[in-house]
Amino acid sequence: MRKFLVISVLALTAAVALGAQDLVPGPGKPVADGVVAAGEYALVRELSGMKLHLSLSADGKTLGVGLVAPTKGWVAVGLGSRVMDGAFMVLAFDAGGKPSVSEQRGAGRSHSPLTGSVLGASAVKEAGESTTLEFSVPLSGLVAGGKLGLVLAYGTADNFTSRHAARVGAELGVKP
């Protein structure tokens, strides 16, 4: 059965009008190597200066995520919430070729590392003035009421503690 994901993006203060976008489960398998190739993902959207790439596996169970942000510092994607609070977050930075990726849980306007890991694969790579984070993750447990919340952010330092230079909340409708 074909499944459809409809993305709509909401800001806290104003809706960001990106238009409806369907993501159909497909055979494409993004490779989490820190480089987003042309056509690697089924969907790409620009949000607050960041490029978000998404794909859904053929069985609809695995989400592939790629985020390209205009920074040499940290980049992050949160899932399961469109605010920091409650989001499953993947934060990452590439310090001169030394990659760090951390799975965290947002709490209020903070976040802290998770003890376990749910990521399938992940990579972060800085190239020029940009940093790219790629990972795959099971969709299960991240969707509530047919919707997947997303938070994206980046900062300018190579750490997991400094505040964002830009951030945005989004919402992805999952429609089987």
Q: Contact positions toward ligand HEM, by CB under 6 A?
A: 12, 76-78, 83-85, 89, 91, 109, 111, 151, 153, 161, 163-164, 167-169
3-state class (DSSP) for residue 96: coil
Q: Between residues 12 and 37, which has the closer beta carbon with respect to ligand HEM?
A: 12
For 23-86, the DSSP string reads E---S-----SS---TTSSSEEEEETTEEEEEEE-TTS-EEEEEEEES-SS-EEEEES-SSSTT
Q: Between residues 10 and 24, which has the closer beta carbon with respect to ligand HEM?
A: 10
Q: Between residues 60 and 164, which has the closer beta carbon with respect to ligand HEM?
A: 164
Q: Between residues 42 and 91, which has the closer beta carbon with respect to ligand HEM?
A: 91
CB of 42 to ligand HEM, least distance (A): 22
CB of 59 to ligand HEM, least distance (A): 27
Distance between CA 18 and CA 16 in Å, rounded?
6
Distance between CA 28 and CA 42 in Å, rounded?
8
Token digits for 40? 């690697």
CB of 136 to ligand HEM, least distance (A): 17
Distance between CA 35 and CA 12 in Å, rounded?
30
Q: Between residues 60 and 169, which has the closer beta carbon with respect to ligand HEM?
A: 169
CB of 81 to ligand HEM, least distance (A): 8
CB of 14 to ligand HEM, least distance (A): 12
